[in-house]
Amino acid sequence: MNRWTKLLLGFALVAVVGLLTAAVAITWLRLDRTNAELKITQASLSSQESLNVVLQSTNEDLRRDIVGLESDIDDLEGEIDGLEDNVTILEVGKARLELTVQGLEAANSELTGERDEAISRGDALFVDKEQLTTDLAVSRNNNERLLETNAGLHSDLSEARAENDNLQASNRELSGDLETARTEYMALQSAVGTVEELQSTADGVRGEIVELEDMLRPLILSWDSRTTGGFFCTGSMEPTLGCLDSVTWITEFEPSMIVEGAVISFNPNCWETHADKDDVNTAHRVIDIKFEDDVYHFWPRGDGNEEDDGCWIPHGNVEGYAVEFFADTRPENAELRLAVLTARDVFREVRDSYDEAYTRYCGFSPYEGRTCYLSGSQYDETTSLWHAQVSALDVYSCWTKVAEQSEWPGHIPEHTCKYQWEADSV
């Protein structure tokens, strides 16, 4: 009990005692006055015994009042004790409330710290988002510059091929001069040699001609076996070959003529995704060859693809192999080619962003077949990137389908493939 409480209780007790004392004093005054009146009455009416009885009765009443007042004083003292007990209980409750307030203040301080930390992390994520947006813009600018550089390289390649043609023409002229020199030499040799020597020389030349014909025969069996065609705008052979170029194919050949590094045109009927497209050929590069059960098998891969085609192509499915390439002969396919390549690059970029975020948060690749549990901003980010990846893949597949269905030498499609999902962090 604190000092103020005790002081208040003291004042209350003094007030109660004062009231009781005043009541007793008043009662005694009344009693004295009554006694005085009784004495006066007794003096004047000493002979009246009835008056004495009345006075005695009055005295009894006064005594009973005094007893009642004393009982009231005891009751008040009991109530004062009860008040003191209540004050003690209130002080205990107050102490408990003070402890509760201290706990709440500590919890509030902790929550305030967590809120400040969350705000700081949110600001950091916003800065990361701004940086990723800037990096994306830079990457797209770099992609545009690479496309321009690629166009320049195609132009340089055309010039180099033109120079090669000039060199071949010069070589043919030199060959003609060499033949003239040989003719002159043969004329001089015939002037000084014998018929037997000339015959022997002719036999040697004929043998060389036969050897040269045998070497030439694997390359071209007949001029009717040569055909010229182009490529679909799928981007699978970019940047080496694309739908802006044309190619000369050899369609009559022996399987043994095809070597690693050759570009073949084949029917990919071993692909489940092409089971209903037997009339669509694919042109990819041979990276491996095997010979089993008297059959040549070729393992192809597109220069622009990240993975091999995934199946062996028997030589019976090979329509031909390429021997000549002509760059930039189909400029009408430029717009379709740009759409396909852009969709492919966007898909690969979003896919790599999803793989990086998933690996960073989960500690392993999303392709390991393990389960990763995420929540909060990490879950939101990976989910957004996943949907963006699916949308980008749909767009890339859409443009690839448009390219596969385009007519040679190609046409600009009347529709476009649109994205259905946009990720903030992409």
Token pair recorded at residue 206: 């004929």
In this prediction the pTM is 0.44
Token pair recorded at residue 132: 């990723």
Residue type, 215: M
According to the model, what pLDDT value does residue 354 have?
Answer: 93
Show me where the domains of the chain are located: 3-104, 153-216, 224-329, 331-426
Question: What is the C-alpha to C-alpha distance for residues 422 and 392, in angstroms, rounded to an integer?
Answer: 9
Question: What is the C-alpha to C-alpha distance for residues 79 and 375, in angstroms, rounded to an integer?
Answer: 62
| 308 Rama sector, left if φ>0, alpha if ψ -120 to 50, beta otherwise | beta
Q: pLDDT per position in the chain (426 positions), as tens?
A: 566 676 777 777 777 777 777 777 787 787 778 777 777 766 766 656 665 676 688 778 888 878 888 887 888 878 787 777 777 888 887 888 788 888 888 877 888 888 888 787 877 777 777 777 777 777 777 767 777 766 766 676 677 677 767 766 766 776 666 677 667 666 655 555 554 565 666 666 666 655 544 443 333 334 445 677 778 888 888 888 888 888 899 988 899 889 999 999 998 766 544 444 445 688 999 999 999 999 999 999 999 998 998 899 999 999 999 988 888 888 888 888 888 899 999 999 999 999 999 999 999 988 888 888 888 899 999 999 999 999 999 988 888 888 777 655 455 555 567 655 444 443
According to the model, what pLDDT value does residue 279 have?
Answer: 58
According to the model, what pLDDT value does residue 51 have?
Answer: 57
Q: Note whether 290 and 297 are within 8 A (CB).
A: yes
Whether the CA torsion 281, 284, 290, 294 is positive or negative: it is positive
CA atoms lying within 13 Å on the CB side of residue 138: 6
Tokens 């003609």 correspond to 176
According to the model, what pLDDT value does residue 135 have?
Answer: 74
According to the model, what pLDDT value does residue 222 have?
Answer: 40
Kindly report the CA angle at 174 between 170 and 179, in degrees rounded to 5? Answer: 145
B/e letters for 245-267, b = 16+ CB within 10 Å, e = fewer, are: bbbebbeebebeebeeebbbbbb
Question: What is the C-alpha to C-alpha distance for residues 150 and 240, in angstroms, rounded to an integer?
Answer: 10
Q: Which CATH architecture has domain 224-329?
A: Ribbon (2.10)
According to the model, what pLDDT value does residue 423 have?
Answer: 41
409 prior amide bond cis, ω within 30? yes
According to the model, what pLDDT value does residue 267 have?
Answer: 86
- Alpha helices per DSSP H over 193-316: 195-216
